[in-house]
Structure 1
Amino acid sequence: MAIQKEIWTAAIVEGLFASNSFLSKAFNADEYVNQGKTVHIPQAGAPSGVEKNRTELPASVSKRNDTDVTFTLDEFTTNPIYIPHADTVELSYSKRESVLRNDKLKLADEVALSFIEAWSPAAGRCVETTGAEVDAYTPSATGKRKGLCKADVLTLMTKFNAENIPQEGRYLLLDAYMYSQLLADLTQSESMAFLACADAVNGIVGKLFSFNVMTRSAVALYDATKAKKAWSADGAATDLAAALAWHEQCVCRALGDVKAFESEGDPTYYGDVYSFLVRAGGRILRSDSKGVAAIVQGIPSAKA
């Protein structure tokens, strides 16, 4: 019987991961990553007040009481992965390079989702979608939801304007489905104006109603009561997808460098072992959560 030789291409199909360029659009607290476990953010107290045509002197003197909000840095680690010696000499592609690249991308993806959860506001800061009915698309979700439409972004702009949030520096992060729903709701001229503001270098796909729009495969997740939910939690039939809107000075990010651990030529494994670690944390900067909002899927009314 002839010896059959297996032929491998000199490449391997890699895992696919979401874009995380949105992380740069936040107050940067990276310098605090290696200074402790908890980060403190000062909160200015109320202003002293203004009186027109003051008649009583001396004016009363008051003291401003400042407070702070805190967040804890989390430690993210990959599971150690083993590369047998044979894989380093017998394969036509670099398995070590492929393994390390995929693990670092997976680590970055998990960290990004943790930031989205940390920046996701409570129910009082949620705006419901009001567009046409669409199928639920989060894991395990069933039934119908209301899609995203331009009127929802206008509602969001009005909310930010009423709270004196600066026009410059506003961002709206949409998942793949909500992005498509929004584009479908725009007229041709609106779509052209929206896309004309795209800035691929900074991850911006367009601009609408003062918001720089960005997109990734998945954004925020809420339950039926509009309580934010981690993507790692068990899915439910009533889960709601959500977009996230913020001003760049109203959310905080502290992200450390990725630290690599390696044991090459390990005598007990007869191969190489690798793993990665990164420290990261974040939160909404203001205690009143102004400058941050979520657009959560609305539920269509039951048909008679």
Structure 2
Amino acid sequence: MSVDSFIPELWNAAIIEPYEKSLIYGQGSIASRAYSGNISRVGDTVHLTTLTSPTVKKYTKGQDITIEDLATNTSTLTIDQGSYFAFGVDDLDKLQAAGALQDPATRAASIKLRDSADLYLAGVLKDGAKSSNKLGTLQVVNDDPQRVGTDQTTAFKTLVLLAEKLNSNSVPTTGRYVVVGPKTYSALLMDPRFTRVDASGTSEGLRNGIVGRAVGFDVLVSNNVPTTAQRELAIAGVPDAFAYASQLLNTEALRDPKQFRDIVRGLHAYGATVVRPEGLATADINVVEPAAVARVA
């Protein structure tokens, strides 16, 4: 790669890097990351074992107890995804940049790898939820909740319905999250039940995608939410419902034997699977303007 824009003028040594997207679906608060250390190459298979729950029986004094054999269920996590970057940096470009051009370029490439994985993870979560936990398409009003019209609902009530789906499956309340898109988050901000600190449970700003708490969920916003015809899919769940294994297998720099430049390249291997479909719930959100109804007093 030759950065022609560096020639022949003087340029600032500080190279402006691209905006960084946060890794949302792959962070530990959303996916179990216990298996990443087992990866050595693309194509590896990780076997995941879950244990059935023991049966609780009524005890009668003087009677023998029954010993139960617990069963295990095995699923596989296949590391079938791989992505890489490889670019060249001319020696002249590095000199004119007054620094190592490959450093910010490598960081930018790593961001792209992470973003690519996050899009893949969103798709796995979308398809993996239990069918009865999918709310379908909801018309969510992007305005004051009092202006909701017929066949419309609020973003806040959508969170309530997602929580209800998880509650009906006895999903633990600890560690619950919901990831929403930017338009859904905008609709949430219209609702005072979400924006009040005493209701949301936090006054912190954006941190790793977290924008607040509501209805027992850590609420995260992501630009990588699955979309269909401008609708955004909200995904709720708990970390042990979803497993993600990832490894940056190689990052290396080497000299190009044919030119005066460095070659920098890296390989990322990863895979994901839904372990407990009942631990996920989704809502297909169509953010709309309020219907033509009189304002509720």
Residues 133, 147 of structure 1: 8 Å contact kept: no
> d(CA) in 2 for partners of 1:75 and 1:131?
35
Hey, what's the Cα distance between the residues in 1 that align with 2:153 and 2:89?
46
Deviation at 1:274, TM superposition (A): 1.2
Aligned to 1:283: 273
On the 8 A contact 1:44/1:65 being kept in 2, the answer is yes
For each residue in 1:49-85, what CA deviation from the matched residue of structure 2 results, as whole angstroms up to 9, or x when unmatched? 6357699x77777644432121211342324211122
Match runs of 1:55-66 below 5 Å: 63-66=69-72
Q: Is 1:294 aligned with 2:297?
A: no
Is the 8 Å Cα contact of residues 54 and 68 (structure 2) preserved in structure 1? no
Q: How does 1:40-55 map to 2 (within 5 A)?
A: 40-45=47-52, 47-48=54-55, 50-51=57-58
Aligned to 1:246: 237
Matched, 1:37 2:27: no
TM-score (norm. length: structure 1): 0.75
- Alpha-carbon distance between aligned partners in 1 of 2:61 and 2:209, rounded to the nearest angstrom: 52
- Partners of 1:109 and 1:244 lie apart in 2 by 18
Task: Work out the CA distance in 2 between the residues paired with 1:195 and 1:59.
Answer: 47
Secondary structure in 2 matching 1:82:
strand
| SS of 1:242 mapped into structure 2 | strand
Q: CA deviation at 1:188?
A: 7.8
Read off the aligned partner of 2:32 and give its amino acid letter: F
Structure 1 position 275, deviation (Å) = 1.1
**Alignment correspondent of 1:143:** none
Deviation at 1:153, TM superposition (A): 0.2
Say whether 1:132 aligns with 2:120.
Answer: no
Are the equivalent residues in 1 in contact too, given 2:181–2:223 (CA < 8 A)?
A: yes
The amino acid of 1:126's aligned partner reads K
Structure 1 counterpart of 2:182: 176
Letter in 2 for 1:281: G
* 1:267 and 2:257 correspond: yes
2:210 is paired with a residue of what secondary structure?
coil
Whether the 8 Å contact between 2:251 and 2:264 is mirrored in structure 1 is yes
CA distance in 2, matches of 1:21, 1:297: 19
Name the residue aligned to 1:138. Answer: none
Q: Is the 8 A contact 2:231 2:285 kept in 1?
A: yes
1:186 to 180, 188, 192: 192
Deviations 1:118-169 (A, max 9, x none): 22235543224331279xxxxxxxxxxx786100000111111221111111
Following TM superposition, by how much is the alpha carbon of 1:204 offset from its aligned partner in structure 2, in angstroms? 2.6
1:27 has 2:32 as partner: yes
Unaligned segments of structure 1, at least 5 residues: 135-145, 224-237
**Which residue is equivalent to 1:141?**
none
Cα separation, 2, equivalents of 1:8 and 1:157: 54
Conserved? CA contact 2:235–2:283, under 8 Å: yes
2:221 to 190, 208, 215: 215
| 1:259–1:276 Cα contact (<8 Å) kept | yes
For residues 64 and 199 of structure 1, do their structure 2 counterparts lie closer, same or farther at Cα, with a shift above 3 Å needed? farther
TM-score after normalising by structure 2: 0.76
Q: How many residues align?
A: 268
Deviations 1:27-50 (A, max 9, x none): 222222239711111233464463
Mean CA deviation greater in 45-54 or 212-221:
45-54
Matched letter for residue 186 of structure 2: S
- Specify every segment of 5 or more residues in structure 2 that has no aligned partner in the other structure, as ranges: 1-6, 144-151, 292-297
SS at match of 1:207: strand
Contact 1:183 1:191 in 2 (8 A): no
